[in-house]
Amino acid sequence: MSDLLERVARDSPAGGLPPSPPRDFRIVPIPRLASGGRWRVEAMRALSEPLLLWFTRGQGRITVGGLTRGYGAHNAIFIPAGVMHGFELGAQAYGNAVFFGTDCGLDLPATPQHLRIRDAAPQAELTGIIDHIQREAGSPHPGADRAARHYLGLLGVWLERQVKASAAEAARPDAARRLAARYADLLEREFRSGKGVADLAAALGVTPTHLTRVCKQTCGRSASDLLHDRLIYEARLLLSETRLPVREVADRLGFTSAAYFTRAFQHRTGQTPTAFRKRG
């Protein structure tokens, strides 16, 4: 975080400090926004100050500037002043709302941003910055106001970086979808071969890590999950629609042994192949 502080000091006026935070700057736990009625968060409205919603738990739908999207844990939603918005406040929703005040003097995004923060490092960084702002804003110690202004500057830099990262990610969805489609085609041809994700990734010219990242991005599941789901689905068909011995089913699906097949099948379904066949 020290490099961020150095950047704020270098880029900010008046001796390295952003302008003093306005008196109406505040951080409010998201559930408290509905105190006095849920309409306070659900009804369409616009504020005269920028707002950052940082959801750390729960899910729902949020409408910002006429666009409705789902939100979930580790979503950071920035709403500039004057932009109409409203959101569902689910029973499990939690996080913090950062109200920047009517004249915060920070270089904040000019347009709404919905950031899905998948990596743990920026998640922890944002939570830490908000915690520091809260602590310094309520501190009686010397320099607390100056520290709070620094951390507000850090929050602006965090937003800048995540918006840039999100834009770079959004520029690659076509490539990601193409790779996921190629993997699905290859998987359908090769799932009986006994090859693992590493072999399939190599055939596609990518690393297993990259392939898994792309699969999670496009469908929310890992490359390994997709492979094993396909295998177990085919195993269920063979067990329920043929009289092939379990060892032959295992062999047809590329398993090295009937025992390994049985363990994999039981792990996915909660029952052995023999028990599955008897119940079928």
Residues 13 and 129 in one domain: yes
Q: Are residues 10 and 144 in the same domain?
A: yes
Residues 163 and 179 in one domain: no
Q: Residue 2: which pLDDT band, with cuts at 50, 70 and 90?
A: very low
Domain range enclosing 47: 2-170
pLDDT, tens digit, 9 for 90 and up, residues 47-105: 889 999 999 999 998 998 878 888 999 999 999 988 888 999 988 999 999 999 888 88
Residue 10 is which amino acid? R
User: Given this model, what pLDDT does residue 105 score?
Assistant: 85
**What percent of the chain clears pLDDT 90, i.e. is strictly above it?**
55
Residue 173 has pLDDT above 70, yes or no: no
Helix or strand run (H / E) with residue 115: strand 113-116
pLDDT band at 11 (very low <50, low <70, confident <90, very high): very low
Same domain for 120 and 46? yes
Do both 48 and 115 map to the same domain? yes
Cα→Cα distances 143→137, 139, 146, 147, 263, Å: 10, 9, 5, 6, 62
- Please give the average per-residue pLDDT across 159-183, as a whole number: 81
Same domain, 139 and 42: yes
Question: Mean pLDDT across the stretch 224-230?
Answer: 89
> What is the rounded average pLDDT for all residues in the chain?
86
For residues 164 and 182, membership in a common domain is answered with no
28 shares a domain with 166: yes
> Where on the phi/psi map is residue 141: left (φ > 0), alpha (ψ -120 to 50), or beta?
beta
Looking at the structure of the chain, the number of domains it has is 2
pLDDT value of residue 172: 54
Q: Are 66 and 148 found together in one domain? A: yes
Which among 140, 170, 200 is the end of a domain? 170
Name the band, by pLDDT with cuts 50, 70 and 90, for residue 158. Answer: very high
**Is residue 243 located within the same domain as residue 164?**
no
- Does 252 have pLDDT greater than 60? yes
pLDDT for res 43? 80
Residue 8, pLDDT score: 39
Residue that finishes a domain, picked among 170, 187, 210:
170
User: In CATH, what number is assigned to the domain containing residue 134?
Assistant: 2.60.120.280
28 and 146, same structural domain? yes
The CATH number that applies at residue 188 is 1.10.10.60
| Structural domain ending residue among the three candidates 128, 150, 170 | 170
Are 219 and 249 in contact, with CB atoms under 8 Å apart?
A: no
Query: Is residue 12 scored above 70 in pLDDT?
Result: no
Give 125's pLDDT tier (boundaries 50, 70, 90).
very high
Q: Assess whether 25 and 146 both reside in one domain.
A: yes
Q: Is 0.85 surpassed by the pTM of this model? A: no
86-102 pLDDT per residue, tens: 999 988 999 999 999 88
Confidence of residue 40 (pLDDT cuts 50, 70, 90): confident
